[in-house]
């Protein structure tokens, strides 16, 4: 049982305290009211509305086509269900790449329209000046380094990072920390590199496919609960097979309707 479970609302200071006390931070994605309500009540500390919604919700091949309006729509649904968890919105591809002014305008829009606590942007040293500007404007920022899905075309696919060294990623992490990022997601990175990064900076490192040496872990809702099997990454542990439960239940419903067993007397006015 987490000593932080009884907090009425997780805030930005909670995460630095959890890191200093050695308690792991639990994070998951959510994209709708019902999922967010379940996670919030279960005790998850951070909920991310990720641009992964493009793949697991909308059936796209990548996160790149996801729009800012789509992220805002899903964030509003998640916000209505969340009373305790810290809420972070993924800034989608193209929403912060044209200029710092564009990024500032879009991040302000997300925070104002959704009521979320923070935004997440991908990029290391090159994005540190933007992170600093956003932070100085009062916008809380989560960084993201390592495998960056929005840069998958440049990176040549979804390739594990850090095999040939991790000095560049360490520099990225330190630059984001100095710029004011409250936490940094490290994705698809060899475990040794992530451990070194976590030990070298004071802000929490949240891993996804990055080993156990992080300060916390995040996974995609549909992967964890077995709802999406078009592609299941090696680093995912499936904690339930909800897809099969729903499929079996749907077949039972079909059988009952076809056989006139539903609706029965107790289901009829």
Query: How far is the first Cα of the chain from the last one, in angstroms, to the nearest whole number?
Result: 45
The pLDDT, as a whole number, for residue 155 is 75
Please, which residues bridge with residue 120 across strands? 90, 142
With a cut of 70, list the residues of the chain below it in pLDDT: 1, 3, 5-6
Neighbours of 1 (CB within 10 A): 6
**Residues with Cβ within 8 Å of residue 248, at least 6 apart in sequence:** none
* Global confidence as pTM: 0.95
The bridge status of strand 183-187 relative to strand 205-208 is parallel
The pLDDT, as a whole number, for residue 7 is 79
The pLDDT, as a whole number, for residue 170 is 96
Q: Are 91 and 110 in contact (CB under 8 A)?
A: yes
Per residue in 104-119, pLDDT (tens digit) is: 999 999 999 999 999 9
Q: How many angstroms from the chain centroid is the CA of residue 142?
A: 10
Closest by CA position to 217, among listed 62, 23, 1: 23
> Which residues make up the CATH 3.20.20.60 domain(s) of the chain?
12-238
| Residues annotated as catalytic (active site), given as ranges | 187
Euclidean distance between CA atoms 251 and 253, whole angstroms: 5
Q: Are 56 and 243 in contact (CB under 8 A)?
A: no
CATH of 12-238, one of 3.40.50.150, 3.40.50.720, 2.60.40.1120, 3.20.20.60: 3.20.20.60
Euclidean distance between CA atoms 85 and 224, whole angstroms: 18
The pLDDT, as a whole number, for residue 1 is 56
The pLDDT, as a whole number, for residue 230 is 80
Per residue in 60-70, pLDDT (tens digit) is: 999 999 999 99
Please, which residues bridge with residue 47 across strands? 28, 87
């Amino acid at each position: 049982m987490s000593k932080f479970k009884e907090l009425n609302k997780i805030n930005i200071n909670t995460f630095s305290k959890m890191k200093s006390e050695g308690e792991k931070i639990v994070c998951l994605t959510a994209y709708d009211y019902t999922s967010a309500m379940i996670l919030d009540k279960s005790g998850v500390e951070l909920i991310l509305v990720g641009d992964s919604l493009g793949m697991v919700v909308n059936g796209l091949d990548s996160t790149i086509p996801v729009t800012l309006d789509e992220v805002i729509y899903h964030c509003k649904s998640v916000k209505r269900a969340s009373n305790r968890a810290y809420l972070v919105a993924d800034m989608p591809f193209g929403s912060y790449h044209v200029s710092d002014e564009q990024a500032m305008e879009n991040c302000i829009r997300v925070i104002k329209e959704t009521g979320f606590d923070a935004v997440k942007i991908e990029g290391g040293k090159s994005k540190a000046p933007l992170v600093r500007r956003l932070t100085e404007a009062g916008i809380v920022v989560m960084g993201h380094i390592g495998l960056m899905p929005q840069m998958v075309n440049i990176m040549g696919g979804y390739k594990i990072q850090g095999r040939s060294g991790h000095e560049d990623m360490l520099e990225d992490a330190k630059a984001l920390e100095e710029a004011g990022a409250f936490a940094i997601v490290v994705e698809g990175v060899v475990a040794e590199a992530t451990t070194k990064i976590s030990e070298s900076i004071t802000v929490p490192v949240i891993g996804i496919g990055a080993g156990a040496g992080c300060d916390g872990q995040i996974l995609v809702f549909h992967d964890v609960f077995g709802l999406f099997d078009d592609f299941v990454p090696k680093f995912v542990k499936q904690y339930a097979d909800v897809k099969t439960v729903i499929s079996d239940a749907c077949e039972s419903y079909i059988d009952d309707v076809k056989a006139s067993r539903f609706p029965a007397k107790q289901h009829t006015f």
